[in-house]
Structure 1
Amino acid sequence: MVRQFFILSAGILLFPFVFLLYILIGRKKKLWIFGSWRGQKYSDNSKALFEYVLQNEKDIKAVWITKNKTVYHELKSKQFPVVMNHSPKAVYYMLRAGFSTGSLSATTDTFGSKWFLAYKITCLYLTHGMPSKYAGYDEPKLAHKKKLITEKKSIGLKLYFSVFPQKNPRNLYSVSTSDFFVPFLESALLIPSNRIFVTGTPRLDTLFSTKKNDYITDIRKKFPTAKIIIYMPTFRASFDGGPSFKPFGQFGFNAEKFIRILEKHDYVFLNKGHFWDGRLSEREFSERFINVIDNPLLDVYDLIKDTDILMTDYSSIYFDFLPLLKPVILTPFDFDSYTQNYRGQYYDYRQELPSIKAFNWNEVCDILEKKSYFPLTEAQTLKYHKYIDGNSSARLTEEIRKILSI
């Protein structure tokens, strides 16, 4: 709280200087800055859009801003334009850029604590995924703030947004994979529906790449006929400092039975915890049970495109996987407690999502034994994806050019 007060105070004190610079030098519409996961990772939608712009939009100067030295050195080795968030060069780009985007925030991923330098920049929030669970301003802890913004009665908030317009969600842009999600995104983000572009999300372009993932290729060399399952549940209390989700210590998990099924029916199980939870299991129960360790450079979309089956619960990865037209096993093991204690749902999860569901590990085992999983049809998938191709970044870049008038 003290740190937030200090940053806000510094922003207010420095704002006249930032405003003067804006008046004197303005912003360059063809200078775009990118970041991801609060400056700590090189991944997600912003990574995909950044690389697309570098390769295809030669008149645009794209720069990645990071707080992570591993990311910095990796991008430097590839000769990608990258700067550390605290450097003078980063501050220069923050003051001059005409466009900023990120995957967890339109400004935090790039500006970090220096968000007050973002005066009059055009910001697009790429989002981390399409919602099924309540997100953003629909979370109970933000209900009061949502009311203040939507009712427009707070003089203090009006003054704050007039000084820092980039903090007003009404001034942002965002992206969706289909019209189905637009009202939920508008509710969660408070971004007007006419500012939400139905272009598809950039990271989904990776799904249509013919390049094979080295990690999966190595697994297939060892298990050439196996079906590879990737398990990616969402976080629970860990986001707010609570305990990590531990699915293998409950819900009827029997390691001996599970491994026996993997071996008998030729599966390999990749266990990938959410970023906030880290590793879901400290054990690898057999060579067919593999923990995928998170790191700042891990691109899960490059990983999932070469797997055969997805297992998840309430994660947006469900929708991202659908264009592959491969099977999904939904695992809402704790549905009642999750919806009551963590996140409500925008729609009836159990009725809306047509994939097969398992409510405990015994049911998972039964599905794997009987091979009763199935992919959605293309017609079903089109409800959640207006486009099933690899051109989302191109469509979105065209929209960005329109709003910037370049």
Structure 2
Amino acid sequence: MNVAKYIQEKGVKHAIQVIYQYKIDIVLQKILGVFLRNKPLKDIIMIESHNDFDSNGGAFYNYLIQNEYNKKYKIVWLIKHKESLNVQLPQNVDYVMQYKPSFKKNYYKWLAKWLTADNDCSDKLRDDQISIYFGHGGFGLKNCKGYIDVPDKVDYICMPSHYLKDIFADQFNLTGNDPRLCFIGFPYVDNFYSNDCGDLNKITNQKYNKVILWMPTFRKGGGYGRQDSTQIGDLGIPLIKNKAEYQELNDYLKKLNVLLILKLHPKQDLSDLQVEEMTNIRILTGTTVKELGVDNYRLMKDCDALISDYSSAAYDFLQCNKPIAYDFSDVEDYKLGLVVEDPKDYLAGHFIKELKDLFVFIDDISNESDPYYNERQILRKKIFDFFDGDNCKRAVELLQITNN
């Protein structure tokens, strides 16, 4: 790598960050490799997730703990945020900071028998290790090709359905007949079938006729100046053009006694955000979600309907079998494009381009009208192979993690 050119293109700060977060670890790995590369692997499971203890890695971890796998196996979390460690970890569970170089982290990487990843796949250091890429979300319409790097040494790549295998494989720069594709369903889906609920009560204790969850996809942020849309909007959110429209939306919700929860993407840059909570609008960020202990999927179960766009959230919500609206007000501004030529083949709900369309959706939810019910049943069966809440069970069976 031409260091001078890299610094010129990315900047000194970014270069130092990369060296600290990645390059020092490579040196530490080589040092430890002299002593550990021929040692027997240990019953250690290393888990990485999208935003710590969440997404597929979080659901898989919860399954392991609930079924007492930690009595036999040591579970080690790769943590991105120190704030995530405000809770006491169970027996035989440890953590290391993902982006902080350490001998401890690399010791585990050399000796862990299993590696799971949602977002940042760690290369296996040994051929006898077993690794699986769960992914950090389900199927979505937005094109992420080039942003997802699945190392060649990953043993299994999780798939939600046979119908979607070619789309997923293309996004990962693979082929649909790659033998590593495993059709076990995403672990996070099990959250929809658990008895855990009550996350809505963490946000509000008021009673509303209906609760609608709005989950816009990532548009700008991620820590490296990434921006996937040419227009972020004057308020830092899509669809709503100005504060007058935002007030009009709140007034309409208030008239119908409907709560709208605006749940922003955890990586979204909040510097552009120009809205605040109102009587019938609550705002959740990546930080407040952690502070409140809110889980996306448990919250989805508590809500009556969802507004999303080309995000995977719109398809995750199909497991709830409740009404969905798709906000395509800025799809022309999305720089990466979509994964399919005709998105209408993958929509089963209200299509929103402007504020008046959103009001129609709110009216239908308030009146318990579900005009897209039949279309939704067809789409559900395309997106998912399983509706049984046993995806984590299938994962431990695939990985041969036994509990006896």
TM-score if structure 2 supplies the norm length?
A: 0.78
The alpha-carbon distance between structure 1 residues 346 and 248, as it changes in their structure 2 partners (threshold 3 A), is closer
What are the within-5 Å matches in structure 2 for residues 104-123 of structure 1? 104-107=119-122, 118-120=125-127, 121-123=129-131
Partner residue of 1:128 out of 129, 133, 136: 136
Corresponding position: 1:82 with 2:66:
no
1:106 partner SS: coil
Unaligned runs of 5+ in 1: 108-114, 147-166
| C-alpha contact (below 8 Å) 1:278/1:294 kept by paired residues | no
Corresponding position: 1:393 with 2:392:
yes
Distance 1:26 1:328 in 2: 50
| C-alpha contact (below 8 Å) 1:329/1:357 kept by paired residues | yes
| C-alpha contact (below 8 Å) 1:53/1:60 kept by paired residues | no
1:276 partner SS: coil
The alpha-carbon distance between structure 1 residues 7 and 337, as it changes in their structure 2 partners (threshold 3 A), is closer
Corresponding position: 1:337 with 2:333:
yes
The alpha-carbon distance between structure 1 residues 300 and 370, as it changes in their structure 2 partners (threshold 3 A), is closer
| C-alpha contact (below 8 Å) 1:268/1:289 kept by paired residues | yes
The alpha-carbon distance between structure 1 residues 370 and 201, as it changes in their structure 2 partners (threshold 3 A), is closer
Partner residue of 2:170 out of 168, 187, 204: 187
Instruction: Write the letter of the residue equivalent to 2:39.
Output: I
For residues 215-270 of structure 1, the C-alpha deviation after alignment (integer angstroms, 9 at most, x for no partner) is 43663x412x4210010011124345156543265289713431232122221000
| C-alpha contact (below 8 Å) 2:259/2:280 kept by paired residues | yes
Distance 1:261 1:80 in 2: 51
What are the within-5 Å matches in structure 2 for residues 16-35 of structure 1? 16-28=30-42, 30-35=43-48
Corresponding position: 1:66 with 2:79:
yes
Instruction: Write the letter of the residue equivalent to 2:64.
Output: V
Distance 1:93 1:9 in 2: 18
Partner residue of 1:41 out of 46, 52, 57: 52
Corresponding position: 1:94 with 2:101:
no
- In structure 1, the partner of 2:9 is none
Corresponding position: 1:235 with 2:247:
no
What is the deviation of 1:313?
0.6
The alpha-carbon distance between structure 1 residues 80 and 203, as it changes in their structure 2 partners (threshold 3 A), is farther
| C-alpha contact (below 8 Å) 1:251/1:361 kept by paired residues | no
- In structure 2, the partner of 1:321 is 317
| C-alpha contact (below 8 Å) 1:177/1:385 kept by paired residues | yes
When structure 1 is superposed on structure 2, of 283-292 and 242-251 the one drifting more is 242-251
Distance 2:262 2:110 in 1: 42
| C-alpha contact (below 8 Å) 2:130/2:399 kept by paired residues | no
| C-alpha contact (below 8 Å) 1:176/1:196 kept by paired residues | yes
Instruction: Write the letter of the residue equivalent to 1:95.
Output: W
- In structure 2, the partner of 1:292 is 284
| C-alpha contact (below 8 Å) 2:212/2:306 kept by paired residues | yes
- In structure 1, the partner of 2:358 is 364
When structure 1 is superposed on structure 2, of 81-90 and 263-272 the one drifting more is 81-90
For residues 113-170 of structure 1, the C-alpha deviation after alignment (integer angstroms, 9 at most, x for no partner) is xx6x834332211112223222143x6xx9xxx9xxxxxxxxxxxxxxxxxxxx7336
The alpha-carbon distance between structure 1 residues 89 and 385, as it changes in their structure 2 partners (threshold 3 A), is same
Structure (1/2) with the larger helix percentage: 1
| C-alpha contact (below 8 Å) 1:106/1:126 kept by paired residues | no
Instruction: Write the letter of the residue equivalent to 2:267.
Output: W
Task: Provide the aligned length of Structure 1 versus Structure 2.
Answer: 362
| C-alpha contact (below 8 Å) 2:49/2:136 kept by paired residues | no
Root-mean-square deviation (CA, aligned residues, Å) is 3.2
Partner residue of 1:274 out of 258, 265, 272: 265
Partner residue of 2:193 out of 193, 198, 208: 208
Q: Percent same amino acid at aligned positions?
A: 20
Distance 1:119 1:84 in 2: 20
2:46 partner SS: strand
| C-alpha contact (below 8 Å) 2:216/2:308 kept by paired residues | yes
What is the deviation of 1:287?
1.5
For residues 171-219 of structure 1, the C-alpha deviation after alignment (integer angstroms, 9 at most, x for no partner) is 4422121112211221222356321221111111111122222443663
Distance 2:19 2:269 in 1: 30
The alpha-carbon distance between structure 1 residues 75 and 204, as it changes in their structure 2 partners (threshold 3 A), is farther
Partner residue of 2:65 out of 50, 54, 72: 54
1:50 partner SS: helix
What is the deviation of 1:358?
0.8
| C-alpha contact (below 8 Å) 2:32/2:106 kept by paired residues | no
The alpha-carbon distance between structure 1 residues 246 and 299, as it changes in their structure 2 partners (threshold 3 A), is same
| C-alpha contact (below 8 Å) 1:281/1:291 kept by paired residues | no
What is the deviation of 1:55?
2.6
What is the deviation of 1:370?
4.4
What is the deviation of 1:14?
5.4
Instruction: Write the letter of the residue equivalent to 2:322.
Output: K
Instruction: Write the letter of the residue equivalent to 1:179.
Output: H
Distance 1:212 1:53 in 2: 19
- In structure 2, the partner of 1:264 is 255
| C-alpha contact (below 8 Å) 1:18/1:119 kept by paired residues | no
The alpha-carbon distance between structure 1 residues 215 and 282, as it changes in their structure 2 partners (threshold 3 A), is farther
What is the deviation of 1:325?
0.6
The alpha-carbon distance between structure 1 residues 5 and 172, as it changes in their structure 2 partners (threshold 3 A), is farther
Instruction: Write the letter of the residue equivalent to 2:121.
Output: A
